[in-house]
Amino acid sequence: MIGGDLKVARRGLMFILSSPSGAGKTTLAERLLTKDGDMVLSISATTRQRRPGEAHGKDYFFVSEEEFMRMRDNGEFMEWANVFGHYYGTPRSLVEDTLRQGKDVLFDIDWQGAQQLDEVAGEDVVKVFILPPSREELERRLRQRAQDPEDVVQKRMAKADAEMSHWAEYDYVIVNYDLNESEELLRSILFAERLKRRRQVGLAAIVKEMIGDG
């Protein structure tokens, strides 16, 4: 709100987190969402197996490869990619409905998805890359999560360099040493991006009302 009774509507933004697997983006996304009523998580569809504790419709929509291809061919995904040998895709409907309400959408997706969203919605997109403090720490985090078998951990470590090689395509980069600090940094980015002039719909009309034609 600026000035007495004048309210500025906001255009929702698409806040993308990418990182090598295990760097901490899902944990940070959960923290952001618990304290931010203006942001909604984009729940992806995936053909990978459900991990212990994961729920259909909360963490992912777990679908068969046949169902994924049907959705893809039907144009239901805003972006999709093959990651670690499984398909992942962002259902279009939730994203579009949320943005229309002036809320933000949070994405936990890889570099391929980030590139695709940038192409279709550049102005609305804010991309943050999360780096681990070191390769050793990345591997420790993947093991400590204890949700994937050893061969999956190895496969993800082998792909970490390829994912990290895309860091410079992002607007912001955070080295995730400490969860509290990284959460605070992410929130600072979000708050500043929400205040960008182009996202404050009707601002020009409001200022004009206050100062006239100048």
Ligand X SMILES: Nc1ncnc2c1ncn2[C@@H]1O[C@H](COP(=O)(O)OP(=O)(O)OP(=O)(O)O)[C@@H](O)[C@H]1O
Ligand Y SMILES: Nc1nc2c(ncn2[C@@H]2O[C@H](COP(=O)(O)O)[C@@H](O)[C@H]2O)c(=O)[nH]1
What does 22 interact with, of ligand X, ligand Y, none (CB < 5 to 8 A by kind)?
A: ligand X
| CA-to-CA separations, 79 to 111, 125, 136, in angstroms, rounded | 11, 13, 31
Q: Could you tell me the CA-to-CA distances from 174 to 6, 20, 82, 116, 145 in Å, in that order?
A: 36, 13, 25, 22, 21
The residue whose two tokens read 């940094």 is 185
Q: Which of 14, 31, 95, 110 binds ligand Y (CB under 6 A)?
A: 110
Q: Does 24 bind ligand Y (CB under 6 A)?
A: no
Window 72-101: contact mask with ligand Y (x via CB under 6 A):
-------x-x-x----xxx-----------
Question: For residues 149 and 10, is the Cβ–Cβ distance under 8 A?
Answer: no
Nearer to ligand Y, 15 or 88 (CB): 88
Q: Does 21 bind ligand Y (CB under 6 A)?
A: yes
Binding site for ligand X (CB under 6 A): 19, 21-27, 141, 144-145, 176, 178-179
Please state the separation of Cα 94 from the chain's center in Å: 14
**Measured from the CB of residue 7, what is the shortest distance to ligand X in angstroms?**
36
Q: Which residue type occupies 154?
A: Q
Q: What, of ligand Y, ligand X, none, does residue 98 touch, CB below 5 to 8 Å by kind?
A: none
Residue whose CB is less far from ligand X, 27 or 112: 27
Q: How far apart are the first and last CA of the chain?
A: 22
- CB nearer to ligand X: pick between 12 and 24: 24
* 190 part of the interface to ligand Y, by CB under 6 A: no
Helix, strand, or coil (residue 194) = helix
